[in-house]
């Protein structure tokens, strides 16, 4: 047994640098052909979105709630695209281009708040539920399943009524939208983390940690949590794109952020529906395209990560090229990570603890 | 988006998805599965009704929400008292549960209709829309998914997958807006909104037994012009909502056909010289449809959410349109009632879908 533990580290692949182990970078190197093209496209669009969101004040020629120019003259309502307003003006007299640019900032803020909140709460609940088990687990599972099965938009509507009563300031609105979205996505993080926690709980390294007397909290966060996070980047991208759609849906139904507090694409589309019947296309086209483009970009990233994680879907050449690295990111619970005899034998130190325990027994 | 993640059904902890080999506890009859699955509807509905009740009530009572500021305070207080909204929340909660248990989901505030009546009146329209959307989704999604699997990792596959993501990434109201702009306003081929022209609507309502499902009603009138009118109105909303689901179907069929293509029986077929096209068409296609049925359950939820937006976009007078109206009017009794009732519908549909999946695939059992 001691000889095995000693020989295994020698057989391991050379340790890769931190840079190449970062979630997305690793996949980028692993991918080939069409898949790499999709991943790169997604990353480029997402990066563009982030840049626009950060530098919105510099890019946008006017404010999101600005109704008249420096000369004090009103922009006018539903003006067609012109040099002064390259994408025209809305029925409310706002500049379409500026509102689309500012909208990126709103969308990005909502995504960040929503995803951080739901990761935090979902992961915590998932860990507790999966590791401790018992009746807490059963109750949480049933509650999350019930919420999970329900139309997300309806739940978000109910939440936004509760939080803001349907009005609000910039940050009030962003938080209301984000929290509404959070409630909807907690079950997803919860499920994934719980499933991982249940699997990891049975691993021998957790058992040995227990025997050496590590506290429940320490085991949960040091051993179980650290080993259950590899699916998070994937769910993160998937949820970020859905958060945008939910935000737009809320805005479209009039439960988003007031136009004077922030620019929001869904709200602008709602106002544009009536314009369409009179042939005014510029008020709806651009905010809509913005939503499609951002969701497309983020989804391309998520989709590529998903495929690269699943050996059955990965490009054939890539399988051969990177078969040695499959274990690093699989999302299949109990997939390639469960070598016969468990992974813990591969980790120096764990086996020794195990030895020591056996002697005492 | 959930559908991207191998679509876990609400019970996947116990009933493994059809794609996962082997369940934890083999044995256990189909009947037992159906009974347990049926009993699980109760906690699901109970939890959702409870959550919705407390959330909605945490904002205050619905009368103040709807009338606050418009009525003098003492009049408001009297109305609140009459409706029993000044009782302790827990008392109201049990009263509400009792009502829901007897099928009474409350009366709307703005137009004094029973929520169940609202469902019966407008549900038919939503059902019809969902039906059109599913047809579009099947016609578009399944063949394209097979095609993508056949051209796996080639240019066509990439194009189809991007199409699938675009279907998902385009909000239904934006798709609706574009469709309206192109086909109704610019080309003038199809009507802008509504379910039928007013004249035909009146004809159908004067029938002896109007079903509320306009396609059936139109056939009842026996007038081909009415049928044509109803269908013309259905095209754009059906496409807008259907493409949303079509993307999910395309992706699912592709993934599943690819994974069945790597199974032993397909490999043996290939070694016997069966053409690749025939393998996709005959061998890998059927097993790939099972997950679609499972995912249909989740699609119902997606369709209902999408229906709210589609109906608002096209002024399709269904449940979703009506819900949006009540939201605008701040009629939270109606909102709570409709949402609670939709919870029941979603729970029951999921049950039916799970049972169908269990009938088809013997691996799905407790």
* A241 has a chain B CB within 8 A of its CB: yes
Separation between Cα atoms, residue B191 and residue B231, nearest integer Å: 10
Separation between Cα atoms, residue B158 and residue A322, nearest integer Å: 21
* A139 has a chain B CB within 8 A of its CB: no
Average pLDDT of span A39-43:
86
Average pLDDT of span A268-275:
80
* A126 has a chain B CB within 8 A of its CB: no
> How far is B230 from chain A, CA to nearest CA, in Å?
20
Q: Which residues, at least 6 apart from B173, have a Cβ–Cβ distance to it below 8 Å?
A: A248, A249, A252, A266, A269, A270, A273, B309, B310, B312, B313
* CB within 8 Å: A296 and B166: yes
* CB within 8 Å: B161 and A312: no
Which pLDDT value is given to residue B177?
Answer: 86
Q: Which of A320 and B332 is assigned the larger pLDDT? A: B332
* B50 has a chain A CB within 8 A of its CB: no
Flag whether pLDDT at A104 surpasses 80. Answer: yes
Residues in chain B, overall count:
366
- For residue range A112-137, list pLDDT tens digits in order: 888 888 888 888 888 888 888 778 88
Q: Which of B326 and B209 is assigned the larger pLDDT? A: B326
Which pLDDT value is given to residue A118?
Answer: 82
B145, B249 contact by CB (below 8 A): yes
Separation between Cα atoms, residue B21 and residue B259, nearest integer Å: 12
Q: Which of A115 and A24 is assigned the larger pLDDT? A: A115
Q: Which of A310 and B313 is assigned the larger pLDDT? A: B313
* CB within 8 Å: A158 and B339: yes
Flag whether pLDDT at B149 surpasses 70. Answer: yes
Which pLDDT value is given to residue B25?
Answer: 47
Q: Which of A340 and B111 is assigned the larger pLDDT? A: B111
Flag whether pLDDT at B366 surpasses 50. Answer: no
Angle between helices A282-309 and A23-30 (to 10 degrees): 80
* CB within 8 Å: B335 and A158: yes
Residues of B in contact with A242 (CB under 8 A): 1
Tokens of A17: 């640098």
> How far is B66 from chain A, CA to nearest CA, in Å?
11
* CB within 8 Å: A162 and B59: yes
Flag whether pLDDT at A38 surpasses 60. Answer: yes
A35: left (phi over 0), alpha (psi -120 to 50) or beta: alpha
Residue from B269, B290, B281 nearest B364 by CA: B290
* B174 has a chain A CB within 8 A of its CB: yes
- For residue range A168-203, list pLDDT tens digits in order: 566 767 777 788 778 877 887 888 888 888 878 777
Angle between helices B30-39 and B41-57 (to 10 degrees): 10
Q: Which residues, at least 6 apart from B208, have a Cβ–Cβ distance to it below 8 Å?
A: none
Flag whether pLDDT at A70 surpasses 80. Answer: no
A75, A95 contact by CB (below 8 A): yes
* B153 has a chain A CB within 8 A of its CB: yes
Average pLDDT of span A221-236:
74
Which pLDDT value is given to residue A319?
Answer: 43
Separation between Cα atoms, residue B165 and residue A107, nearest integer Å: 19
Q: If DSSP codes are grouped into helix, strand and coil, which group holds residue A69?
A: coil
Residue A286 backbone phi and psi in degrees, to 5? -70, -45
Which pLDDT value is given to residue B188?
Answer: 73
Flag whether pLDDT at A310 surpasses 70. Answer: no
Q: Which of A323 and A149 is assigned the larger pLDDT? A: A149
> How far is A150 from chain B, CA to nearest CA, in Å?
6
Q: Which of A138-142, A154-158, B221-225, B241-245 has the lowest mean pLDDT?
A: B221-225
Average pLDDT of span B43-53:
82
Residue from B258, B256, B292 nearest B276 by CA: B258
User: Which of A33, A151, A281 is facing B301, going by the closest CB pair?
Assistant: A151
Q: Which of A245 and B360 is assigned the larger pLDDT? A: A245
Contacts 24+ apart (CB under 8 A), A337-342: A342/A203, A342/A204
Locus of tokens 């709806």: A284
* B178 has a chain A CB within 8 A of its CB: yes
User: Which of A150, A165, A285 is facing B343, going by the closest CB pair?
Assistant: A150
Q: Which of A32-46, B62-76, B146-160 has the lowest mean pLDDT?
A: B62-76
Which pLDDT value is given to residue A311?
Answer: 57
Q: Which residues, at least 6 apart from A335, have a Cβ–Cβ distance to it below 8 Å?
A: none
Q: Which of A22 and A281 is assigned the larger pLDDT? A: A281
Average pLDDT of span A282-303:
86
Residues of A in contact with B155 (CB under 8 A): 34
Residues of B in contact with A254 (CB under 8 A): 327-328
Q: Which of A327-341, B18-32, B197-211, B226-240 has the lowest mean pLDDT?
A: A327-341
Distances (CA, A) of B96 to A223, B41, B54, B193, B332: 45, 19, 11, 37, 14
Residue from B188, B297, B16 nearest A332 by CA: B16
Which pLDDT value is given to residue B102?
Answer: 77
Kindly give the residue spans of alpha helices, DSSP state H, lying in B315-331: 319-328
Interface with B, mutate which of A49, A138, A145 (most B CBs under 10 A): A145
Residue from A180, A121, A186 nearest A153 by CA: A180
With CA atoms as reference, the chain B residue closest to A301 would be B165
A269, A261 contact by CB (below 8 A): no
> How far is A346 from chain B, CA to nearest CA, in Å?
27
A251, A122 contact by CB (below 8 A): no
ipTM of the complex: 0.76
Confidence of residue B362 (pLDDT cuts 50, 70, 90): low
With CA atoms as reference, the chain B residue closest to A188 would be B2
**Averaged pLDDT score across all residues of chain A:** 71
Which pLDDT value is given to residue A314?
Answer: 54
């Amino acid at each position: 047994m001691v000889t095995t533990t000693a020989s295994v580290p020698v057989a391991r692949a050379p340790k890769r640098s931190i840079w190449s182990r970062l979630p997305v970078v690793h996949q980028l190197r692993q991918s080939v052909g069409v898949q790499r093209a999709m991943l790169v496209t997604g990353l480029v669009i997402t990066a563009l979105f982030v840049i626009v969101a950060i530098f919105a004040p510099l890019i946008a020629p006017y404010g999101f709630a600005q109704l008249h120019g420096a000369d004090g003259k009103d922009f006018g309502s539903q003006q067609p695209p012109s040099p002064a307003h390259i994408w025209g003006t809305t029925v409310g007299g706002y500049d379409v281009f500026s509102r689309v640019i500012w909208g990126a900032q709103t969308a990005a803020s909502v995504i960040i708040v929503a995803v951080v909140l739901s990761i935090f709460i979902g992961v915590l609940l998932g860990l507790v539920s999966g590791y401790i088990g018992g009746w807490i687990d059963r109750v949480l599972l049933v509650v999350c399943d019930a919420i999970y099965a329900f139309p997300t938009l309806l739940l978000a509507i109910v939440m936004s009524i509760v939080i803001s009563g349907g009005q609000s300031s910039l940050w009030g609105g962003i938080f209301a939208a984000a929290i509404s979205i959070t409630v909807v996505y907690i079950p997803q993080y919860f499920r994934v983390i719980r499933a991982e926690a249940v699997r990891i709980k049975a691993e021998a390294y957790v058992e040995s940690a227990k025997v050496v007397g590590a506290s429940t909290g320490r085991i949960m966060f040091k051993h179980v949590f650290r080993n259950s996070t590899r699916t998070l980047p994937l769910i993160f991208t998937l949820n970020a794109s859905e958060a945008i759609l939910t935000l737009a849906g809320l805005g479209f139904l009039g439960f988003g952020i007031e136009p004077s507090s922030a620019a929001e694409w869904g709200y602008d589309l709602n106002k544009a529906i009536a314009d369409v019947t009179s042939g005014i296309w510029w008020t709806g086209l651009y905010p809509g395209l913005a939503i499609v483009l951002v969701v497309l970009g983020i989804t391309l990233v998520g989709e590529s990560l998903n495929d690269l994680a699943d050996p059955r879907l990965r490009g054939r050449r890539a399988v051969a090229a990177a078969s040695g690295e499959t274990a690093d990111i699989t999302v299949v619970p109990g997939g390639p990570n469960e070598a016969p005899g468990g992974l813990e034998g591969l980790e120096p130190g764990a086996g020794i603890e195990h030895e020591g325990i056996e002697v005492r027994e | 988006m959930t559908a991207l993640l191998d679509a876990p059904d609400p019970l996947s902890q116990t009933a493994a998805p059809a794609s996962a080999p082997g369940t934890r506890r083999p044995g256990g009859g189909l009947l037992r599965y159906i009974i347990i699955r049926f009993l699980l509807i109760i906690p699901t509905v109970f939890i959702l009704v409870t959550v919705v009740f407390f959330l909605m009530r945490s904002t205050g009572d619905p009368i103040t929400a709807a009338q606050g500021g418009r009525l003098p305070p003492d009049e408001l207080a009297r109305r609140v008292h009459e409706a029993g909204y000044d009782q302790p929340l827990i008392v109201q909660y049990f009263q509400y549960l009792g009502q829901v248990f007897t099928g009474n989901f409350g009366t709307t505030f703005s137009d004094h209709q029973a929520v169940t009546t609202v469902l019966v009146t407008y549900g038919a329209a939503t059902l019809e829309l969902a039906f059109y959307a599913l047809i579009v989704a099947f016609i578009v999604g399944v063949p394209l998914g097979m095609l993508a699997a056949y051209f796996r990792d080639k240019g066509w596959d990439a194009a189809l997958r991007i199409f699938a993501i675009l279907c998902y990434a385009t909000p239904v109201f934006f798709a609706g807006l574009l469709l309206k702009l192109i086909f109704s306003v610019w080309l003038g081929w199809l009507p802008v909104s509504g379910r039928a022209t007013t004249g035909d609507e009146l004809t159908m309502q004067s029938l002896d037994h109007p079903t509320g499902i306009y396609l059936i009603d139109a056939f009842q009138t026996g007038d081909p012009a009415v049928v044509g009118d109803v269908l013309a109105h259905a095209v754009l909303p059906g496409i807008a909502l259907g493409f949303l689901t079509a993307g999910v179907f395309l992706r699912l069929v592709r993934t599943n056909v690819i994974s069945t293509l790597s199974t032993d029986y397909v490999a043996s077929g290939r070694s016997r010289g069966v053409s690749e096209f025939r393998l996709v068409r005959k061998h890998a296609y059927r097993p790939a449809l099972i997950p679609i049925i499972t995912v249909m359950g989740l699609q119902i939820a997606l369709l209902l959410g999408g229906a709210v937006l589609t109906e608002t976009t096209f002024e399709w007078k269904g449940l979703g349109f009506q819900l949006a109206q009540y939201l605008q009017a701040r009629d939270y009794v109606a909102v709570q009632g409709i949402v609670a009732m939709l919870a029941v519908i979603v729970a029951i549909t999921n049950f039916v879908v799970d049972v169908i999946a269990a009938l088809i695939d013997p691996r799905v059992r407790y």
